[in-house]
């Protein structure tokens, strides 16, 4: 049987593209998303590539649902080799003092607590099995300061801290943990955000030296490299994939 990956937020965007790219490498996929329609679509697309896939519905902000997707994956596949800890939301784009406490709680619950819960349960399985590889989704807002995304940025800076600190504790047990820091990318989440905040898209694109947004497929290529054995000695890194966006800040 091939390797096994869990991907959260796999019903669209970076998660779906990475699921398809990993399937090309013969990796079986546990597709996790709160969106059942999108998740089932990913399962069907992955299976067409000749590997096994299951869908598990989960709200990652709920600890018991995170534990469930890990348990269900082990129950079905027997192990977990790779984890793309990717699920997240951007928020409304309002300035921080105009952002409701409810929105702050929701963003932190999904982006930060969801990531912590996922690593807690997945890494436990991996360490017991002799190791594994995790890629966390940070953001350009996790490596620089950006306006209109204060809470989002706080969670993504947190992802960077999780990544580096997990390596300090568990690299000796065979665990690799890296993060990606995408700039503006053509995902459904980003498109929705820019539709509500068109001025921000104009500002972002003009600030990218390559003068375009990234694609989910470009990000999926990086994630696949970092997850697999091709990147065995890369550990604790936060790799920017943003067309030079943060390099100019």
The secondary structure of 51-79, three-state, reads: CCEEEEECCCCCHHHHHHHHHHHHHHHCC
Q: Which two tokens stand for residue 61?
A: 């902000």
CA nearest neighbour of 235 among 187, 182, 165: 165
CA nearest neighbour of 142 among 122, 161, 119: 161
Distance between CA atoms of 231 and 234, rounded to whole angstroms? 6
Distance between CA atoms of 3 and 21, rounded to whole angstroms? 13
Distance between CA atoms of 4 and 19, rounded to whole angstroms? 11
Angle between helical axes of 13-24 and 216-227 (0-180°, round to 10) = 50
Distance between CA atoms of 196 and 93, rounded to whole angstroms? 8
Q: Which two tokens stand for residue 30?
A: 């546990």
Question: Is 152 a residue of the active site?
Answer: yes
Distance between CA atoms of 50 and 46, rounded to whole angstroms? 7
- Catalytic residue chosen out of the listed positions 69, 82, 121, 152: 152
Distance between CA atoms of 13 and 89, rounded to whole angstroms? 12
Contacts of 71 (CB under 8 A, 6+ apart): none
Active site members: 152
């Amino acid at each position: 049987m091939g390797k096994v990956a869990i991907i959260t937020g796999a019903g669209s965007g970076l998660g779906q593209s990475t699921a398809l790219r990993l399937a090309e490498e013969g990796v079986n996929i546990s597709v996790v998303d709160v969106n059942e329609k999108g998740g089932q679509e990913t399962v069907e697309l992955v299976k067409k590539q000749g590997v096994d896939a299951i869908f598990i519905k989960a709200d990652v902000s709920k600890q018991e649902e995170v534990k469930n997707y890990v348990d269900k994956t082990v129950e079905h596949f027997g192990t977990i080799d790779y984890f793309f800890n990717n699920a997240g939301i951007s928020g409304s784009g309002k300035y921080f003092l105009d952002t409701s406490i409810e929105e702050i709680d929701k963003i932190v619950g999904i982006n930060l607590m969801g990531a912590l819960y996922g690593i807690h349960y997945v890494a436990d399985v991996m360490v017991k099995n002799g190791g594994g590889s995790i890629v966390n989704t940070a953001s350009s807002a996790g490596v620089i300061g950006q306006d209109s995304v204060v809470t989002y940025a706080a969670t993504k800076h947190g992802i960077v801290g999780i990544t580096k600190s997990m390596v300090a504790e568990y690299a000796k047990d065979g665990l690799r943990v890296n993060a990606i820091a995408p700039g503006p990318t053509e995902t459904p989440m980003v498109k929705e955000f820019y539709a509500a905040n068109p001025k921000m898209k104009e500002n972002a694109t003009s600030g990218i030296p390559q003068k375009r947004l990234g694609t989910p497929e470009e990000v999926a290529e990086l994630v696949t490299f970092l997850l697999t054995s091709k990147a065995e000695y890369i550990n604790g890194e936060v790799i920017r994939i943003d067309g030079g966006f943060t390099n100019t800040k």
